[in-house]
Amino acid sequence: MAGGARKRGMITGINVTPLVDITLVLLIVFMLTASLIAKQAIEVDLPKASQGATPLPTTLSITLTPAGELFLNGHPITPGALRAAVAEAVAKDPKTQALIAGDKSVSHGRVVWVLDTVKALGVASFAIQIDPAGLTPPDDGG
């Protein structure tokens, strides 16, 4: 039996030539199709302008004071008037942003109400203004 195995020849190495051939063919196919995929956009030569700039979205500054007062862009406002002003701003500019500043003694519920109000009226981008220098960690309970 051992003599028969020697006559037929045992495979002692792997022929990698077909693997390399297939890899090169796939590489060529990907290179050809990549240029077709990248050219799907319509090419236009846009005019240049020296003063052109992207318009900035409208930003509403909403402030909550410790006394419970509500301000919009530095002017006192009522909750109903705030809703109307935010809705009007979103109607003019759908990318309207809100910057919300609340005194640290203001109830969490009031800040959440302002957040909920601006989100419900279509303001998708908002931020809460903080003073990073005045951050104090919560008590560790010890």
Mean pLDDT of the chain: 80
> How many domains does one find in the chain?
1
This prediction's pTM:
0.56
Is residue 3 pLDDT above 70, yes or no?
A: no
- Range(s) of the domain holding residue 105: 59-130
The whole-number pLDDT of residue 8 equals 72
pLDDT digits (tens, 9 = 90+) for 34-90: 777 665 555 666 677 766 666 677 888 888 888 888 988 888 999 999 999 999 989
Q: Considering the domain boundaries, does residue 35 fall inside one?
A: no
**Domain containing residue 71: CATH number:** 3.30.420.270
Q: Considering the domain boundaries, does residue 22 fall inside one?
A: no
pLDDT digits (tens, 9 = 90+) for 83-122: 999 999 899 988 888 888 888 788 888 888 888 989 998 8
One-letter-per-residue 3-state SS of the chain: CHHHHHHHCCCCCCCCHHHHHHHHHHHHHHHHHHHHHHCCCCCCCCCCCCCCCCCCCCEEEEEECCCCCEEECCEECCHHHHHHHHHHHHHHCCCCEEEEEECCCCCHHHHHHHHHHHHHCCCCEEEECCCHHHCCCCCCCC
The whole-number pLDDT of residue 96 equals 86
